[in-house]
Amino acid sequence: MSATILVTGGAGFIGSHSVDQLLSEGHHVRVLDNFSSGKKRNLPEHPRLEIVTGDVRNRADVDRAMDGVERCLHLAAQVSVARSVSHPDESAQHNVMGTLQVLHAACRHGLSRVVYASSAAVYGTPENLPLSEGARLRPLSPYGLEKWINERYASLQHQLHGLSTLGFRYFNVYGPRQDPQSPYAGVIALFVDALRHNRSPTVFGDGGQTRDFVFVADVARMNARALFSEHQGVCNLATGKASSLLDLIAALNTLLESQQVPRFDAPRSEDIRHSLGATARLHKWFGLKEPRSLEDGLKALIEHDARWTAQGPQEGQMA
Ligand SMILES: NC(=O)c1ccc[n+]([C@@H]2O[C@H](COP(=O)([O-])OP(=O)(O)OC[C@H]3O[C@@H](n4cnc5c(N)ncnc54)[C@H](O)[C@@H]3O)[C@@H](O)[C@H]2O)c1
């Protein structure tokens, strides 16, 4: 059964993959994006895709974009942890007030479901690993706190107005279309870029820190699935497998047939040592039993980059 779905931040990294997924399932998709970091070239020309340029902080823009929509995937955000520290007021405007606009509009327009992007940043320094959804939340940045506030608002909108919501706590998402030129690029995009250009990847600290890397196509599939489920609350979107930065560099060196050794820099004070998501709820609610392995995901990313370099950007095409 096809639906009309609004994707805020749909021109961004996770957003554009989610749009591809929803189109492939036969839905009508409307994107609302202010193109601050998103790009038109991330989106395909498609008869069932409509693009609205606007801002989630602006009530009129959100109303216009939500007209006639049944479900919403809300991803638009100021995504930089560092910027949330240097500009907390601006960050909260995008991330808290923007989300509140979307949730409130969803109630006014009678939407049946809102799925939104939370983050593993809500946890802060873990007391135990893997991190399950019931773990204590102690965010270390305004960004993490903003995502937590959004979870509380979503839960209240459910309580007050019956709005059905699900917040995904994404761990470290990677894959094609993550821009290494962005000052906020994820570590995988930065390492691939360094190795491709015969530069040593920079590691802050000793490289023994671990992360739970989740492939973007899996995230897009879970977003689509969650839009059509009834599960209410929050859920980790992780693989349950930890990889160190040194493991990552070794895997990339093998795949790219390079032999770069990392350049070690001073550890960053805001970095946590280990992060790993518990996946029981994800398995139970959304059935992601076999997420793409890091090796397969990196292979797909590198093949996509090679095609991109050889042929130029293929609109909306993914690995
Ligand atoms: N990438 C990750 O590893 C990760 C991890 C945890 C959470 N998240 C969350 O997932 C979501 C998507 O992140 P991403 O990695 O795709 O980032 P991204 O920067 O590629 O996408 C964000 C999109 O939102 C748009 N946008 C920003 N502010 C806006 C505004 N005020 N109004 C309208 N559009 C606006 C941008 O132009 C961009 O297209 C974000 O909410 C982010 O906080 C991402």
Q: Which of 150, 123, 125 is nearest to 134 (CA)?
A: 123
Q: Is 244 in the pocket of ligand 1 (CB under 6 A)?
A: no
Q: Which residues lie closer than 8 Å to 318 by C-beta, 6 or more apart?
A: 17, 20, 175, 176, 177, 217, 304
Asked whether residue 58 is assigned to any structural domain, the reply reads yes
pLDDT in tens, 105-146: 999 999 999 999 999 999 999 999 999 999 999 999 999 999
b/e per residue 253-265 (b: at least 16 CB within 10 A): bebbeeebebeee
For 191, list phi and psi in degrees, rounded to 5.
-65, -45
Domain for residue 124, yes or no? yes
Which of the 8 DSSP states describes residue 140?
A: S
In a domain, 260, yes or no: no
Confidence of residue 222 (pLDDT cuts 50, 70, 90): very high
Residue among 42, 63, 75, 81 whose CB has most ligand 1 atoms within 8 A, to mutate? 75
The pairing of strands 28-33 and 4-8 is: parallel
* 143 in active site: yes
Question: Is 94 part of a structural domain of the chain?
Answer: yes
Spatial contact of 132 and 278, defined as CB atoms under 8 Å apart: yes
CA dihedral sign, ordered 206, 122, 142, 225 = positive
Residue among 116, 143, 153, 174 flagged as catalytic: 143
Q: Is the beta carbon of 73 within 6 A of some atom in ligand 1?
A: no
| Residue 228 domain-assigned (yes or no) | yes
Q: How confident is residue 26, by pLDDT bands cut at 50, 70 and 90?
A: very high
Q: How confident is the model at residue 312 (pLDDT cuts 50, 70, 90)?
A: low
Residue 227 belongs to domain with CATH number: 3.40.50.720
Cα–chain center distance at 101: 20
Counting from 1 in the atom list of ligand 1, the atom nearest the Cα of 74 is: 41
Sign of CA dihedral 18, 139, 106, 1: positive
Best substitution site from 6, 8, 13 to test ligand 1's pocket, by max atoms within 8 Å of Cβ? 13
Task: Say if 139 falls within a structural domain.
Answer: yes
Q: With bands split at pLDDT 50, 70 and 90, how would you rate the model's confidence at 308?
A: low
**Length of the chain, in residues:** 319
pLDDT, tens only, 243-287: 999 999 999 999 999 999 999 999 988 789 999 999 999 999 999
Is 88 a member of any domain? yes
List the domain range (segments joined by +) for residue 228. 4-174+215-239+276-291
Total of domains in the chain: 1
Q: Is any ligand 1 atom within 6 A of the Cβ of residue 57?
A: yes
Task: Give domain status of residue 82, yes or no.
Answer: yes
3-state secondary structure of 255: helix
